[in-house]
Amino acid sequence: MAQQSTRHAPEAWSSKLGVILAVAGSAVGLGNFLRFPGQVAANGGGAFMIPYFISFLVVGIPICWAEWAMGRYGGRFGFNSAPGIFSVLWRHPVAKYFGALGLLIPVIIYMYYVYIESWCLAYTWYYLTGDLDLGRNPALYNAFFTHYTGMREHGAVFKDGSQAAFRFFLLVFLINFLFIYRGLSRGIEKFCKIAMPMLILAAVAIALRVLTLPEQPMPQPWQESLPQALPASEWHRLQALALNPETVPEGFKAEVEKTIGEHLRHQLHFAGSEKSHAMVLPPSGFAKSQAAYALDMAELRAAEAHQRLQAWLKSERTRISEEAKSELRKLELQELKLDGEADDNSQLRTAIDRSRRGLLPKPPAADVDGIEQSFRAVKGASAYGDPGHLLLREAALQLAEQPRTVANGLGYMWNPDFEKLKNPSVWLAAAGQIFFSLSVGFGIVLTYASYLRRDDDVVLSGLTASATNEFCEVCLGGLIAIPATFIFLGSAFTMEALAGSSFGLGFNTLPTVFGNMPGGRWFGALWFALLFLAAITSSLSMLQPAIAFLEEGFALKRRVSVAMLGLLTMSGALPVIYFSGNAVVLSTMDDWIGTVAIYVLATIEVLVFGWIIGIDRGMEEAHRGANMRIPGFFRFILKYVTPSFLLIILGSWLVDALPAKLAAIHEQPEILLTVVYLTIVFAFLALMVAIAGENWRNNGKGEREVDL
């Protein structure tokens, strides 16, 4: 083929191992160790792995191979950015604007990802210094996290005494740009060659520690732990109220919860180095009603009470039991009126059936399915306003408390609930996890692959990078978070942790686990060092596509392109940090760019590969210099199955989620401002692409292959 005499590509990988580790590093991130375990346990345990691996085969691997092949092909024409690569993949004036998504996605995700990354480095430091040695109370770690990240109100990070988060952010921001300034081989590749082995070794060390933990004793009842959480004077006052129920005023429940809540908030307010180590948080099931609270408090002192108290206890038990029975009869009548929605109906039927048989009788220890059904029963009963659901919940908690061993912890996570496979949301969650995990649809692999030589292998290299990511996610991430949480905190707390966010699991729950673990301070430091390494290998990959675009589109020097990108990303990171209340800007960026835009770009990529380039030509390009061949059935998958799968997901999102997302824009000014900012950035990048395209046309770039 004719060659054009032109300048060689300014950068290239120094070794095949380097590019594999760099691509794997871009994929291995916080999602492997925080998001994945929660997705598995919340979506059917072992059953989730069925749609997960199906999605890996029909979505993850095919798009990964397509990105590697298309990226390397674009590199043969001297392009290393998504706009340039798309302009030669599809010879149409509009093609390069699709590539603008390949700039927008990694740049925007970096804006909030780097802030989360700084939390990991800060937690590593605080563990090493002992500032996160807070004991065994989950509320202490939750309060520390809320205070540190400023999630209680906007602008909290910039107030007196709270600037540590901003200082760590600046440090991590500068570290990223230091490495990106050093270039592809001396910066990204060199760092990943060191960081990836260290990351895997740290994960293996923590996983081995979790798998060798001894069986933990069962927790004390709240009646024994509650006195440790309250001052003696308050404890005695509540006892007096319980022992004299006729004096319990109206609104007693609200008063008790307010009193305890204020005390906990006071104890958990961090000022300087003051911390409370002595409290044990009572479980969330206590004090659900005035009668139940007074009953339990009186029961604590029953041995010291006289006959009148004993008689009162008996009558209260009967009354509460009758209330529960009455409400269950109401539930049964409601169930008869409902039909068609299997999930809610099954929860109601389970609540009624198990209550009739004695409030959730204890199954064999290995009956994990029975335990999960118990929690569904509780959820179903409470969702329909059952005031007696405290009894159901307490029974479910007793039922779910298996011996806290590694085997039961693994079983809690991996035992399958095949009923979940009937739920479409589980399949969507599995596909979403694959996208998030492999970093497909980000535009990053397009850029990384463009630095390969003409005949460098992409099939085996792409598969190796994906397999490395899956090892970190399934074999390491799956062996740390959930089993460790189960062993030290029990199944009830584990279920609550999974119902929350990845932040809650990583920065609240697991620090509590380390607080219970011998040598937990050092394992906590190792854990967050692991997360930091995983995060920075990903964030570095998010910067390279834009750097490549600025250099090849405008002939900018490295120093200038790094400075411009630094200003752009800082303009988005500062609103993420300032509007920290409930992480509203961070969540909005993640919704629209970290979720929706990724699906859009992945769909465009697979349509370009299978239909515009053509599946035969695309496969021929992928097999150039390949050390293995792609199995023949992937032709059909890439051309028909993968795009259909992605279009169905996008269509489902448009129907189910888009109306609520649009309503939120109108209701919350912060969300509106964030969406406007994202629109402006995309318009700016599209304008830059138009100017770069004109420069390429005038210089004749992309018309012929260049020497590599």
CATH number of the domain that residue 165 is part of: 1.10.4160
Answer yes or no: is 434 within a domain.
yes
Give the rounded percent of residues in the chain with a pLDDT score beyond 90.
34
Supply the pLDDT for residue 219: 54
Q: What average pLDDT score do residues 637-641 get?
A: 93
In terms of domains, do 530 and 677 share one? yes
Listed residues 403, 433, 465: the one ending a domain: 403
Tokens 């995060």 correspond to 535
Does 237 lie in the same domain as 206?
Answer: no
Looking at the predicted structure, is the pLDDT value of residue 331 above 60? Answer: no
Q: Does the pLDDT of residue 95 top 50, yes or no?
A: yes
3-class SS letters over 57-93 = HHHHHHHHHHHHHHHHHHHCCCCCCHHHHHHHHCCCC
Average pLDDT, the chain: 76
Indicate whether 708 belongs to any domain.
no
| pLDDT interval class at 440 (50, 70, 90) | confident
The answer on 124 and 264 residing in a single domain is no
Residues 25-30 have a mean pLDDT of 84
Q: How do residues 124-153 score in pLDDT, each as one tens digit?
A: 999 999 888 887 767 678 788 888 888 888
Q: How confident is the model at residue 432 (pLDDT cuts 50, 70, 90)?
A: confident
Number of domains in the chain: 2
pLDDT digits (tens, 9 = 90+) for 553-584: 999 999 999 999 999 999 999 999 999 888 89
> Averaged over 65-82, what is the pLDDT?
94
The average pLDDT across 462-466 equals: 89
- What integer is the mean pLDDT of 611-615? 94
Q: Which residues pair with 41 in a beta bridge?
A: none
Q: What is the pLDDT of residues 198-227, one digit of tens each?
A: 989 998 998 888 888 887 776 554 445 445
Of 62-66, 158-162, 271-275, 496-500, the range with the lowest mean pLDDT is 271-275
**Cα–Cα distance for residue pair 67/444, rounded to 1 Å:** 9
Does 700 score more than 50 pLDDT? yes
Share of the chain above pLDDT 70, in %: 69
Bigger pLDDT: 580 vs 329: 580
Residue 22 lies in a domain: yes
Specify whether the CB–CB gap between 506 and 34 falls below 8 A.
yes
Pick the more confident residue, 243 or 630. 630
**In the predicted structure, residue 657 carries a pLDDT above the cut 80:** no
In terms of domains, do 202 and 235 share one? no
**Higher-pLDDT residue of 376, 150:** 150
Beta partners for 706?
Answer: 4
Between CA 45 and CA 53, with CA 51 as vertex, the angle to 5 degrees is 95
Q: Are residues 180 and 275 in the same domain?
A: no
Regarding whether 242 and 186 lie in a shared domain, the answer is no
Distance CA 142, CA 510 (A): 11
Cα–Cα distance for residue pair 558/428, rounded to 1 Å: 41
The average pLDDT across 92-107 equals 94
308 in a structural domain: yes
Phi and psi at residue 404, to the nearest 5° = -85, 80
Please, which pLDDT band fits residue 693 given cuts at 50, 70 and 90?
A: very high
Q: What residues are paired with 4 via a beta bridge?
A: 706
- The answer to whether position 3 is within a domain reads no
- More reliable by pLDDT, 703 or 387: 703
pLDDT value of residue 634: 93
Both structure tokens of 319: 């009354």
Hey, which of 19-28, 168-177, 351-360, 471-480 has the most confident mean pLDDT?
A: 168-177
Do 393 and 278 share a structural domain? Answer: yes
| 287 lies in the same domain as 369 | yes
- Do 152 and 134 lie in one domain? The reply is yes
Write the DSSP symbol of residue 581: G
371 and 462 housed in the same domain:
no
pLDDT in tens, 147-169: 888 888 888 888 766 688 999 99
Over residues 594-601, the mean pLDDT reads: 86
- Rounded to whole angstroms, the maximal C-alpha distance in the chain is 103
pLDDT surpassing 50 at residue 21: yes
pLDDT of residue 241: 54
Evaluate if residue 292 carries a pLDDT over 80.
Answer: no
Domain-embedded: residue 9: no
Identify the domain boundary among 362, 378, 403: 403
The conformation of residue 214, written as its DSSP 8-state character, comes to P
**Structural domain contains residue 504:** yes
Task: Give the end of a domain, one of 345, 369, 403.
Answer: 403
Tokens 């191979």 correspond to what residue? 65
Q: What's the confidence (pLDDT) of residue 332?
A: 53
pLDDT at 290 over 60: no
Confidence of residue 20 (pLDDT cuts 50, 70, 90): confident
Phi then psi for residue 706, to 5 deg, are -115, 165
φ, ψ at 314 (rounded to 5°): -65, -45
Same domain, 378 and 477: no
Residues 322 and 423 in one domain: no
CA distances from 31 to 36, 232, 350, 656, 673 (A): 6, 44, 34, 24, 27
Residue 691 domain-assigned (yes or no): yes
- Residue 364: domain span: 222-403
